[in-house]
Amino acid sequence: MKITKDEVKYVADLARLTVSDEQADKLAGEMGEIITFAGMLSQMDTDGINPTNHAIKVENVLREDVHGQSYERDELIQNAPEDYAGCFVVPKIVE
C-alpha cells in the first residue's frame, strides 16, 4: 500500500510530532512496507487454529482474601511522630 507524505504529516500532527519533508518521505516508505507486511499476514490460512490471548498459561497469582486480626487505631498512632484527631500528620507536599 502506498502511503503519501501528506498522510505521514497528518498522522504526525495527530501525535503532535514535528516531521520534516525528508523524514516524511522516509517514513512514508517504511509505513508502506509495514502495512504491506500486515496484509501478507492476513492472507495466512488459520483454519483449525484456536485463537489465544497469551502464549503461555496465565493464572491468578493473588492470595486468598482471609480475614485476620486488626490493630486498634490508638495502638498504631503511638508509632507516629505526630498525630492529630487520630490521624498521622505528614509534611505538606502540594501547595
Q: What is the DSSP string of 63-83?
A: PP--------HHHHHTT-SSE
Domains and CATH numbers, the chain: 5-42 (1.10.20)
pLDDT string in tens for the chain (95-residue length): 789 999 999 999 999 999 999 999 999 999 999 999 998 888 888 888 887 777 788 788 788 888 888 888 889 899 899 999 989 999 888 87
Instruction: Output the pTM of the full model.
Output: 0.47
| Rounded Cα–Cα distance for residues 50 and 66 (Å) | 37
- Model pLDDT, residue 64: 85
**Contact (Cβ atoms closer than 8 angstroms) between residue 69 and residue 63:** no
Burial class, 50, CB count within 10 angstroms (exposed 0-12 / middle 13-18 / buried 19+): exposed
